[in-house]
Amino acid sequence: MHEVQVVIPADGGGEYTSWRAALLRDDATMEDAVRVLDKAGLQIVLVVNELNELLGTVTDGDVRRGLLRGLPMNVPVVTIAHQSPLVVPPQLGREAVLQLMQANKVHHLPVVDERRRVIGLHLWDNLAAPSARPNAMVIMAGGKGTRLRPHTESCPKPLLPVGDKPMLEHIIDRARAEGFKQFVLSVHYLGHMIEEYFGDGNQWGVRIDYLREPSPLGTAGALGLMQPRPDAPFVVTNGDVLTDIRYGDMLDFHLRQGAVATMAVRQHEWQHPFGVVQTHGVDIIGFEEKPVSISHVNAGIYILDPAALDVLAPNENCDMPDLFARLRSRLERTIVYPMHEQWLDVGRIDDFELAQVNSLNKQSDC
């Protein structure tokens, strides 16, 4: 088959997007789809057969729904694929493509020929600039980072360099690229160094305010100091979490679900090192050879409605799991946002060294 080399203009400025990185064969797995989503950065996977004919598409939402259903990562990708995606022919103009995307509320449009072979991909993010987000982002940056000593003896953990800039700057830059302009940094240990580095945020084209913890208040307690309270849902993230998650997508998910609090979670798999014997009394009723346990773990990123702050008091120590528990006791809706994106909690020396390696790999990919 003649290999198609067409690319679709990303915008009117003449830039181009490499859509071929989004292609995935139909004999691949959900885990393979996650790798493509993370590496290509196009937020979609195009599932094709050996003739390059489009069989379906996979987005972040499809993966997250699969994770919530408890599907293991090695299931065939066709299990979660949307098998009747909207497509367009190559001759359709840019304005018509935009109108079609708006009418159908989609962010990607595969381009196919008359035999349904993929020859390109339209991306909404490249056709329309990201809109400004009025929502605030709170970054918890007050911890002592004791497990990262001696690095943190004279430098707060969020200011430790990853690649060419502090990890806290990586977080702010990523959120800023998605339209977030209002930031609140919660500081305590060596907080003056963070304030001196970032100031009011003018250098980054954003506004930065500070919550100064008089003593450590836990992973949520500093939120009780917020004055005035936000008037819209806001993002909260730990200052040592480096991730490729799209904060705006998580915020939109929270709003669609009508929740008071949303927690990003990662799927964690643990394999039992031994065969498990199932018993009823002294009777053996079954065997399971080295079973795999799948669970969701807290990723340290949250969306909170202003009403969530009602369960906090100023200067009261509170961790995020306790905040969620208090909200549940009030019968408020608290939900999870399953994430598959690259994620690293830089809490130990090994994690810090891995963050440097990841940063170098990203630079080499650019």
- Chunked into runs of 10 residues, the chain (366 residues) has average pLDDT values of 33 47 91 88 89 91 89 91 88 75 84 88 70 90 78 82 86 90 92 91 93 88 90 93 86 91 83 77 76 78 95 90 95 90 73 67 52
Which residue in the list 39, 165, 290, 362 is annotated as catalytic?
290
What residues pair up with 232 in beta bridges, in sequence order? none
- For the chain, what are the domain ranges? 19-127, 133-365
The CA-atom distances, in angstroms, between 112 and each of 5, 7, 89, 119 are 13, 12, 5, 5
Q: Quick one: which of 47, 53, 106 has its CA closest to 79?
A: 47
- What's residue 301's pLDDT? 94
Third-level CATH fold of 19-127: CBS-domain (3.10.580)
Active site residue 290: yes
User: What's the pLDDT score for residue 366?
Assistant: 43
pLDDT of residue 129: 61
Q: Look at residue 13 in the predicted model and tell me its pLDDT.
A: 29
Q: What is the pLDDT of residue 335?
A: 94
The confidence score (pLDDT) of residue 353 equals: 67
Instruction: Supply the CATH classification number for the domain 133-365.
Output: 3.90.550.10
